Chain A
């Protein structure tokens, strides 16, 4: 599965200083907490639904990745890459929905009790094959479809391809 929503944001802090803000879940939702260690759990409320979070990769200051799921949308994997750029940082966020089968294969990564402040890390299997494709437009989000080519005239199709806001 390689359909992703890619968002890019430019920050005027170098990766090392931007890092603290990126692992602080204050920007990810209206309320919540994340234990930013591999295997750490969290909960985030954003735009209504509660996201249950399992942290997968914490590589200060380059990369932060987690899975999250709500009860009424497909679970997904969020990868945040922080790239140094002109004294600041370019942050590339890639959200990729996970297929039900992928969930079954890595059930060990599922939180058992919804996460809490105990922040008790455990090993998480991060053996994923998902990859993102395409480039991003500065400060925009866009949908990167695997291999649907944008050459059809069907309006419904164009809605998917031309999703960049």
Chain B
């Protein structure tokens, strides 16, 4: 048994929300746009997009609920900025499971050696 019990406890609903938010290609693209632009309003994001501003607002709200974006009021418009909470949650989940699979792979090799 390896002393890996210090693995962070991850809430299923939170991780699922982040994964579900990023599972949609449109939301991924919006999230990427937020990362590259730093901040953008729904109107700006809708410009040149093939979906309505209203649809974009809905996607942005899902990103916001997942901790991948946050909204702030600037003057007369609402601007969305990328948030790190969602990505931190996701990367914790990835780190935990990556190290688990490393350990399992090592164990598989070891079991084969000892079975000889």
Contact = CB atoms under 8 A, between A and B. Distances in A.
Contacts of B36: 152
Contacts of A3: 19, 22-23
A143 interface: yes
Interface string B29-68: 0011001100000000000000000000000000000000
Nearest to A69: B12
B31 to A, nearest CB: 8
A11 B7 contact: no
B83 to A, nearest CB: 9
B78 interface: no
Given A1-B23, A160-B87, A99 B112 contact: no
Residue in A7, A47, A139 whose Cβ sees the most chain B Cβ within 10 Å:
A47
A95 B101 contact: yes
B102 A11 contact: no
Contacts of B102: 7, 140-141, 165
Interface residues of A, number: 49
Interface string B3-21: 0110101111001100110
A72 B11 contact: yes
Nearest to B88: A156
Contacts, number: 128
B23 A160 contact: no
B75 interface: no
Tell me if B's interface is mostly helix, strand, loop or mixed: helix
A48 B12 contact: no
Given A28-B104, A146-B22, A147-B28, A5 B99 contact: no
A143 to B, nearest CB: 5
A157 B35 contact: yes
Leading 9 A-B pairs by shortest Cβ distance:
A27-B108, A7-B101, A9-B105, A156-B87, A141-B98, A27-B107, A156-B84, A159-B91, A1-B23
Interface of A: 1-3, 5, 7, 9, 11-13, 18, 21-22, 24, 26-30, 46-48, 71-74, 91, 93, 95, 97, 99-100, 139-143, 145-149, 152, 154, 156-157, 159-160, 163, 165
Given A3-B23, A7-B102, A7-B105, 12 more contacts: A9-B109, A22-B108, A26-B111, A27-B105, A47-B103, A72-B9, A73-B15, A73-B93, A74-B15, A140-B102, A145-B22, A160-B91
